[in-house]
Amino acid sequence: MHESELLARVPEGLLINGEWRPAEGGRTLDVHDPATGQLVKQIADASVADGKAAMDAAAAAFPAWAATPARERAELLRHTFDLLKDRAEDFALLMTIEMGKPLAEARGEVTYGAEFVRWFSEEAAHVQGRYGANPEGTGRMIVSQHPVGPCYLITPWNFPLAMATRKIAPALAAGCTVVIKPAELTPLTTMFFAQLLVEAGLPAGVVNVVTTSTAGPVSEAIIGDPRLRKLSFTGSTPVGQRLLAQAAPGVLRTSMELGGNAPFIVFDDADLDKAVAGAMAAKFRNVGQACTAANRFIVHRSLVEEFTERVTAQVKGMKIGRGTESGVSIGPLIDDRAVAKARQLVDDAVERGAELRAGGQALEGPGTFYEPTVVSDVPEGSDILREEIFGPVLAIVPFDDEDDAVRIANDTEYGLVSYVYTENLARGQRMIERLETGMMGLNIGVVSNAAAPFGGWKFSGLGREGGAEGIHEYLQTKYTLTPNPFG
């Protein structure tokens, strides 16, 4: 389908109580293509009053949706999954246009994002309680699960479909209604997905979408609404910390999927072919703009030079361009600030003595491109080892022994994911116990899966998305005691 035809089919209003409507005062915001800098669409820009209207709709729709049989909710999600698979190419192209990721990766995200819808369609009907005697034998204990209530979901720009489905699908499966606020930079995919839910038969008010250029005030009003019971956020740690403070007065349930600073450790007993392939996937997926992106390559001194030469050769062969062009594996970064950050981190490392092996330059516009880059021998203390790069920069640090590798890997306030390459089973098991991260890729460079509990330790967040755990973020437990029915 032609791009303009696809864009014309994406709604431009706010979805409130089942209707797409303009924002208060007709305010709009512009969405741009980061590969060209061109305007792709103008959409509604919600005000605080619009956010409150969305909250009203979610609160009003909650009792009926919570009472809808789980099988019906499951089938609606399954139908949505089928529609999403049918429209996979449209969703992929839309993500490439608004976010910039290469089309092949956008197709991968459609598969990944759709899996959350299928997974939670299956989970919806499998929520269980328990019944049993208390230890004293004097009573019967009933444990049941209930939807938490209306939820506010805030998503980032880097995975426009998957971050939305990873929250919306478990919420709906559990019987919750939602207001979702996608990122200002990439709102179109969420709007297109919400339209799909409407088409699948979702009742009015169950999912409400607010797109806005004023995330702070709109969110504060929704989070402060006493009818809200849950806040689920994916984004940066500083914003997550601020939202946690805002959620405290309402004692809201919260899920926080925050930033990362993933170590990627290559031991001297690693299979180097696998480690190089894993490194390229863990670093350059989404042009490095993933919370799970490997941030620090910690490589045993005996093979650090060979590892560096091999990744450098691959990086030099990568094609940069708009994600719709064939063969492109490096699309644009999301905006100028992302380019400036990559440049600043690389320059700081080089000034401190790191060696620039490939890349290191921002490209002339239009578009916000930064070359895929390799820096080796990065000195401890460099900003690039402390901060989340969120760009196509592979930073290498040598180490001498296992304790050294663990110390470097854990030397961060983040704890989302780690990657370990070793052919030694006992060493791999030791790493499971020693690395302070919520997830680990052991001889593999991509860990994300709808069936797995995704989430971090330390400053990387609270709660889990996906897996059997994912639906419980939207359920609350009730324990009931009754007397022993036999007297």
Beta strands (DSSP E) in 164-204 are 178-181
Q: Does 388 bind ligand NAP (CB under 6 A)?
A: yes
216 binds ligand NAP (CB under 6 A): yes
Nearest to 390 by CA among 440, 445, 332: 332
CB neighbour list of residue 294: distance below 8 Å, 6 or more residues apart: 262, 263, 264, 279, 282, 283, 394, 419, 445
Q: Are 46 and 211 in contact (CB under 8 A)?
A: yes
Asked if 291 is part of the footprint of ligand NAP (rule: CB under 6 A), the reply reads yes
Binding segment for ligand NAP (CB under 6 A), chosen from 176-184, 309-317, 402-410, 469-477, is 176-184
Task: From 46, 43, 48, 55, select the one nearest 205 (Cα to Cα).
Answer: 55
Report how many residues bind ligand NAP under the rule CB under 6 A. Answer: 28
Contact predicate 384/378, CB 8 Å: yes
Comparing CA positions, the residue from 296, 400, 280 lying closest to residue 349 is 296
* Angle formed by the axes of helices 88-99 and 70-86, nearest 10°: 70
User: Which residue in 106, 114, 154, 207 binds ligand NAP (CB under 6 A)?
Assistant: 154
For ligand NAP, which is the closer residue by CB, 47 or 158?
158
Give whichever of 215 and 406 is closer to ligand NAP, judged by the CB atom: 215
Single residue of 102, 150, 170, 260 touching ligand NAP by CB under 6 A:
260
The closest alpha carbon to 477, from 130, 116, 9, 44, belongs to 130
- With CB under 6 A as the contact rule, the residue among 156, 175, 372, 445 that binds ligand NAP is 156
Stretch of 231-239, 270-278, 300-308, 325-333 contacting ligand NAP, by CB under 6 A: 231-239
Name the residue number minimizing CB distance to ligand NAP: 235
| Residues paired with residue 440 on neighbouring β-strands, in sequence order | 418
- Active-site choice (12, 123, 257, 402): 257
Q: Out of 235, 288, 392, 415, name the contact with ligand NAP by CB under 6 A.
A: 235
Tokens of 381: 């203390």
The answer to whether 176 is a known catalytic residue is no
Q: Is 95 in the site for ligand NAP (CB under 6 A)?
A: no
Binding piece for ligand NAP, criterion CB under 6 A, among 42-50, 150-158, 279-287, 405-413: 150-158
Which residue number, 288 or 367, has a Cβ lying nearer to ligand NAP?
288
Active site residue 291: yes
The span from the CA of 62 to the CA of 74, in Å, is 16
Show the tokens assigned to 429.
């098991």
Chosen residue from 321, 323, 461, 463 binding ligand NAP by CB under 6 A: 461
Beta bridge partners of 475: 147
Cβ proximity to ligand NAP: between 346 and 416 the closer is: 416
Binding site for ligand NAP (CB under 6 A): 154-159, 181, 183-185, 215-216, 219, 234-236, 239, 242-243, 257-260, 291, 388, 416, 456, 461
Active site residues: 257, 291
